[in-house]
Structures are given as structure tokens and as C-alpha cells.
A and B are shown apart, each in its own frame.
Chain A
């Protein structure tokens, strides 16, 4: 069997009209150019539906073959097989399997593998690394949204002392520092990666008793204990990297929209973990969880303006959280 082909010698752009035939492990071309070569030194391009096939010689000279059907038959005779990937690419069944498998892998990594991996990485890194990340953050916040606290020094000290005397529910207490600030953003409290727990004057005033304040501080300590910041950093970069692999081929703009939404779930999970830590801490110290729940309720009443839909929210809904706290009693 011989097949018409165009031969290019890799030195000039001239097309040589040749015919290709195979005999005894040797491929031979004849016509405008003559040459023969053992089969195992030739490289054949992958099969694709409407694409001409190429056969490349060791010196980069090559044949271009238009009659792909005849060439497929010739290849089959020589015992050449498409690679596993080519076979999968060329069948709809293979492609469908790939779609399903990709979806399963993506969902599993998102729900289980990534959170576990980031927890592992975050706990492996020494606390010092996490502390060094947000160093400049407090200065920035002090300049932008905080003013010095107007709570009496004695009151601040009393709260700090009171919290210090609470037993941590599990493990070592991470190093932390409680800071009081007057703020433009109303009642709020948060933990910085550098280990500062900031509580605003407005929140201290809003809470009806010290037990409620202890609940809030315990929640923030929970964030520090669980290394949430480091985990979030690892998770968001992994999600971003995955999104680039999946959509990057297409468009960078599209790739970045889902990552923000996907990240929100991790944020809500972190809030739940911090709540659990606070619940455990309250229980260890025999503080009634009713206080913590009431504290949340007051906070919700004070900041009630707009609640985004659940999947867009960085926190679980307050009702859900209060419910969970009271059920843990």
C-alpha cells in the first residue's frame, strides 16, 4: 500500500510530491525525493478529526498526509496505537467520563481536600510566620478607622484580667493581646493575624454584662487558635490557582468571579469553628451560654441594615449561630 504525501526536507520550503510505503519495518518515500527510515525512528502526529497527519524524521524533515483514512489503515498495519489520552479525546464517551471525573475531583477538593490541606499547612507553620504577616495592619487601621479608646484604663485592665483567668477549652492558648479602640464602624471585634484582638468601645457599651464580652473575646481567640488567617491565605490561593487552570485558558475576568463566591464558604466555616471554640471555652469556665447568645442578638439588633443572601455572606446568619449556641447548652 502506498499513500501520496508531501515531503519537506526541513532545509527549504519546497514541497516534494512523494508516495509513502511501509515494508519490513522500514518506511520508504519515492517521487520528488527518495528516502527510507526505520519505523521506530519516526514520530507520528496525534490523530484529530480534520487535521492532516504528519510523520517526522529524526532530522526534522517531515511528511504531510492529507488522505488520513488510508494513513490510519497503514498505521494499523504497522501495529501503531493511539495513546490512551488520544483515544479518550477522540471519543464522546471518554470526554463525558472526563467531564464527570473533573467535576467530582473539583467538588471533593473544594469540600474536603483543600480545607484539610490548608489546616495541615497552617498548623505546620510556626506561629511566628502568621504573626509576621499582618504586622502593618494595625497601624493602617489605627490611621483609617480607629481612635484611641475612651474607656477608663481601669475598666480595660479589668476586662483583660478577667479574660486571662478563663481556662482555654483545649490546647495551648495562642499568644494574643487585647486592644481597645473607639471606631467609626460601630460595635465590632476582630482578631488580626499578628495576634491582636481588637474590641471597640461601642461593643463594650452594647454588651449588657461582662459574660457577653467574654463570649465575644473567646470567639476571636478561636480564630487565632484555629489559625484561620493562614488557612484562608492557603485556601484562597489554591482556589485562585485552580480557577486559573480551569478557566484561565478562556478569560482572566471570568476566572476571578467564582473564586470570591467560593471563598465565602470557607469564611462561614471559619466563623462556625470560632463559635465552637467560644462555646467550649464558656462551658469550661461554667459561663451560661445564654449570655453569648444574647450578646449575638444585641449585636444583630444594633447592626441591622442589610443581610445579603446566605451564599454571598462571609458569616453564617445570626439566627443560625444563636440557635447553635443555645443547643450546645
Chain B
């Protein structure tokens, strides 16, 4: 157990013992996660989804319990009943929303406005639920945030971004991350975030250039042959139809695959950018992800690959402690309602890292 070794080298009696990075470690394995996943999936289906709340708690506990830094692991405290309530509410909301859409244009527009107005609040509640139910060394995390900020970051900025023809996307991304990290706390200690807007623009631009280059290559090779098939006049019509259908399929298939390939590059750049600019009081973080590695863990739909990706993501992170990790103090806070968490989960938002 190298983790506990690291821990023991950092005695509490010497508060300024070390400034060397302490790596995060992840001990979960694909095969074990697969077993947990399939058993819980079976019971979720058999209970018409009711058990899924318990399954979620069990899976999250496994992830958190497998993640450790400086010799101790994280813990998840989410209450399945709270999550179930959130999921039932989300389910009802989706049904109401779908009925409203069928009814009339007026009602569906109204419904759209209501959903848009409620989303930032739901995200907020969901962040609070998630952080409040995470602990490390017996100290719970937490999330503050003010209603005004929530609506600025999650409603006003995205709308502005839309009208700016997406030129503001990196700016909005930076503001969202800044908000998320600055409002997070560990016990009574606050996180801070120093990532600049310029760095986000740089990351986005780089990914955009790589993406565009790929598109040009795909269009030049597959698009060209497609054009050749269509314009060839010595083939009979049915053969042309079949060949061009194959061509179109290949062309869009290649574009789709390219999108999958480009995403890890983006995720890598952003994760490094975010965590290298995050601090918990004086303690800093270090993220050294390489996109070539994460490319190898494609096929995220398999629990095995998913675990490998998570393991890689976590183990690229280090904590750069400034003195002892023993002096954090717990805060008191009321229970956070789980509704936000449930809805966000069902709609498949990813609110993590």
C-alpha cells in the first residue's frame, strides 16, 4: 500500500513536512465494476427502475471508495430514498413536458420557458447534493452559490452565447468552472480558481483546428470518391444508388468516428487546464493527462473501458499540499434536497469534473 506509506511519511507533528506532489490513486477494476453494474442493472429492471436509486448509490460508493489520496479514500453519503424521490419527480416532469408538447404550441412554449427557468436551480441543487454527500477524512464537501449567480452563469450566459453564434462558448465555460470551483468548499475551507478566459480560448481553438483538419481530410478522401461514384455514367442506376448509399454511410460514419476521437483531446486539455488552476486554500492540484492515453480507452460504453478511463483520469491528478492535511474543520449545514440530483441524472447531464 504505497498510499499509506506516503501518508506515514507526512507526520501530523510537522505541518510543513512536504511539498512533493501526492498522487491520487484509483483501485477499482473493470471486472469488479462490471459485476456490480450487471447485478444492479438486473434488479433495476426487475423493479421497474425503483432499485436504480440504490444501484446509483452502490456504484458511486464503489467509485468514491476506490479513489484515494494521501492514504485515505473518499466516501459517498447519498441517500437512495432522496435520489428515488428526485427521479420520480424528474420522470413526472418529463411526462408532463411531453404531454404539453403535444397539446398546443402555446402550452409547449410556456413549458419550455418553465423548464429553462427551472434548469439552473436544478443544477444548483444537484451540485449541492453531490458535494454535500461527498466526504474525505470525515469532512464533508459543500457548495454555496447564490441564486443570482446561478441564473447568470447557467441561463443568461448560455443565452448570450447562443446569440453570439457560439463565439462566447469558451468564455461561458470558464465562467461556469470558475463558479463551480469557487463556490465549492471542503469543510470550512474554500476552493479557488485562477483559470483565465484566454486559456480556455486557446484550448478551444486548438481542438477546433485539429477537428477542422480531420474534416478536410475525410471530405477529401471519402467525399471525393463519393462524387466520383455519383458522376460515373457507365454504371446502371441501381448500382449507382447502392454505391452512393454506401458512400454516404461511410462518409457520415467517418465523421461520427472523428467526433468520438476528437472528444478525448478536448477533455484532456480542459481537465488539465481546470485542475492546474484550482486551489484549496494553499493546497494546489496537478493534472497531467495525455490525450494519447485516453484515446486508447475509447469505447466508453463498456463498463471495463469506462473504469479504465476513470482510473486514468484520477491517477493523472496529484495534490500539492502546502503543509499538513490534518487541520481542515467540518462545517454544519442542513440536509440538501436531492431533487436537483435526480433530474440532472435522468436527463444525462454530466456535472462531474
Chain A residues positioned under 8 Å from B241 (CB to CB):
305-306
Contact of B61 with A45 in the complex, beta carbons under 8 Å: yes
Asked if A252 CB lies within 8 Å of chain B CBs, one says: yes
Asked if A48 CB lies within 8 Å of chain B CBs, one says: yes
Asked if B9 CB lies within 8 Å of chain A CBs, one says: no
Contact of B65 with A54 in the complex, beta carbons under 8 Å: yes
Chain B residues positioned under 8 Å from A45 (CB to CB):
61, 65, 75
Quick check: which of A5-13, A18-26, A153-161, A281-289 contacts chain B, the rest being far away?
A: A5-13
Asked if B187 CB lies within 8 Å of chain A CBs, one says: yes
Contact of A66 with B38 in the complex, beta carbons under 8 Å: no
Chain A residue nearest to B245 (CB atoms) is A306
Contact of B138 with A8 in the complex, beta carbons under 8 Å: yes
**What sequence of 0s and 1s flags, for each residue 252-290 of chain B, a beta carbon within 8 Å of any chain A beta carbon?**
000000000000000000000000000000000000000
Contact of A51 with B138 in the complex, beta carbons under 8 Å: no
Asked if B45 CB lies within 8 Å of chain A CBs, one says: yes
Q: How far does the alpha carbon of A13 sit from the alpha carbon of B331 in the complex, in Å?
A: 12
Quick check: which of B25-33, B116-124, B160-168 contacts chain A, the rest being far away?
A: B25-33
* Interface residues on chain B, size class: 35 or more
Residues 1-53 (chain A) with a chain B CB within 8 angstroms: 6, 8-15, 45-46, 48-52
Quick check: which of B144-152, B224-232, B321-329 contacts chain A, the rest being far away?
A: B321-329
Main secondary structure of the interface of B (DSSP, over half): helix
Contact for A85 among B39, B187, B301, B346, CB less than 8 A? B39
Chain A residue nearest to B41 (CB atoms) is A102
Asked if B337 CB lies within 8 Å of chain A CBs, one says: no
Chain A residues positioned under 8 Å from B37 (CB to CB):
249
Chain B residue nearest to A248 (CB atoms) is B348
Contact for B1 among A8, A66, A254, CB less than 8 A? A66
Chain B residue nearest to A237 (CB atoms) is B98
Contact of A15 with B62 in the complex, beta carbons under 8 Å: no
Contact of B326 with A242 in the complex, beta carbons under 8 Å: no
Given contacts A48-B66, A94-B39, A98-B42, contact A11 B330 (CB under 8 A): yes
Contact for A101 among B42, B302, B326, CB less than 8 A? B42
**What sequence of 0s and 1s flags, for each residue 295-333 of chain B, a beta carbon within 8 Å of any chain A beta carbon?**
000001111001000000000000000000111111000
Contact of A251 with B35 in the complex, beta carbons under 8 Å: no
Chain B residues positioned under 8 Å from A49 (CB to CB):
29, 32
Asked if A99 CB lies within 8 Å of chain B CBs, one says: yes
Extra inter-chain contacts (8) besides given A245-B44, A306-B245, CB under 8 Å: A10-B138, A10-B139, A13-B329, A15-B12, A45-B75, A54-B73, A61-B138, A245-B41
Contacts from A to B (Cβ < 8 Å): 6, 8-15, 45-46, 48-52, 54, 60-62, 64, 66, 85, 88-92, 94-95, 98-99, 101-102, 105-106, 109, 132-133, 136, 237, 241-242, 244-252, 254, 305-306
